[in-house]
Amino acid sequence: MGRLDSKVAVVTGGGNGIGRACCERFASEGAAIVVADVMEGPGRDVVAKVEAIGQRAVFHQLDATSPDDNEAAMQRALDELGGLDIVVTSAGISGKGYVSDGDTQAAVGRMAGNAEVAMDPIRSFTEFPLDDWQAVLDVNLTGTLLAIQSAARRMPNGGSIITLASIAGKQPEAGTPSYSVSKAGVWMLTKFAAKSLAGAGIRVNAIGPGFIETNMTAVVSAIPQLWERFLPHIPMARMGTTAEIANTALFLASDESSYTTGEIFHVDGGFYTE
Ligand SMILES: NC(=O)c1ccc[n+]([C@@H]2O[C@H](COP(=O)([O-])OP(=O)(O)OC[C@H]3O[C@@H](n4cnc5c(N)ncnc54)[C@H](O)[C@@H]3O)[C@@H](O)[C@H]2O)c1
């Protein structure tokens, strides 16, 4: 018996990192998966991995900022996998132009180009580019809203929606203005949706990870001065793994959390003990 037997999940951003780990963990507990991502190659790899585990999966090319793409991804779960019980909204970017390709050198190069501004807190705020603000809010916040709306319209028997916030949503140290504000927004959106959808039997919870080893944080590991800035704030003195986030998502996806909604779980090695 799996903890998600006969359930169907849609995972946005399912091609890489945390989303990918959720796809694989959920499949290992019996769920069928729509892997929804803007990147086709990694998304199809995850479909193959889920099928190798013995579960059904389809890839859906999704731009998280598109209402139509979100509608289509959720509908695909119903049409091709026979239901929609769980959604994880893991599609996200750390800045304008971010691509989850693991090209750490390019990411370090982009940061190095802005090093002088980045080290100056006043300039890094007053000169923060509007196009970065807009791009990050579009994917991280509006994308999460669209996924929740599209999912909720298709969950007549209830379900569980899990959003990805961040420690950055409560602490301005750990991100850029656009990233931190987008994640603060995701947290409020999660509470708002939880309250609005409780009557429909839909639970909505957030995971607010600390530093987790993925393509997104490869740049932090690669720049010692950056990692050294964050390390003293992490009592467990290491990054987390995607499996550690997927295990929390599994609890929230399963009926084991049946009385939990509108909550945020900080899986962060103790970041908020301070
Ligand atoms: N890694 C961390 O330390 C950390 C910490 C806190 C929160 N988060 C959040 O967790 C989520 C997953 O991040 P990750 O670390 O796994 O990063 P990642 O780069 O490994 O994965 C992000 C995925 O989202 C996809 N994506 C990006 N833009 C998209 C779009 N417009 N439409 C559809 N898919 C899109 C990417 O292709 C990629 O597959 C993000 O929302 C991120 O902000 C990550």
> Which class is domain 8-101+135-215+240-266?
alpha beta
90, 162, 220, best to mutate for ligand 1 pocket (most atoms within 8 Å of CB):
90
The predicted-structure confidence for 8-47, as pLDDT tens digits, reads as follows 999 999 999 999 999 999 999 999 999 999 999 999 999 9
pLDDT at 190: 99
pLDDT at 119: 73
pLDDT tier, 115 (very low <50, low <70, confident <90, very high otherwise) = low
The predicted-structure confidence for 137-190, as pLDDT tens digits, reads as follows 999 999 999 999 999 999 999 999 999 999 999 988 777 999 999 999 999 999
Q: Chain-wide mean pLDDT for the chain? A: 95
The CA distances from residue 190 to 31, 85, 88, in Å, are: 23, 17, 12
The predicted-structure confidence for 42-62, as pLDDT tens digits, reads as follows 999 999 999 999 999 999 999
Q: What is the DSSP letter of 175?
A: S
CB-based contact 208:169 (threshold 8 Å): yes
Nearest to 69 by CA among 168, 143, 127: 143
Place of tokens 């992490």: 234
11, 33, 37, best to mutate for ligand 1 pocket (most atoms within 8 Å of CB):
37
Using CA atoms, how far apart are residues 82 and 78, in angstroms rounded to an integer?
A: 5
Q: How is the chain split into domains, by residue range? A: 8-101+135-215+240-266
pLDDT at 120: 81
Using CA atoms, how far apart are residues 186 and 192, in angstroms rounded to an integer?
A: 10
pLDDT tier, 225 (very low <50, low <70, confident <90, very high otherwise) = confident
Place of tokens 């989303």: 19
pLDDT at 251: 98
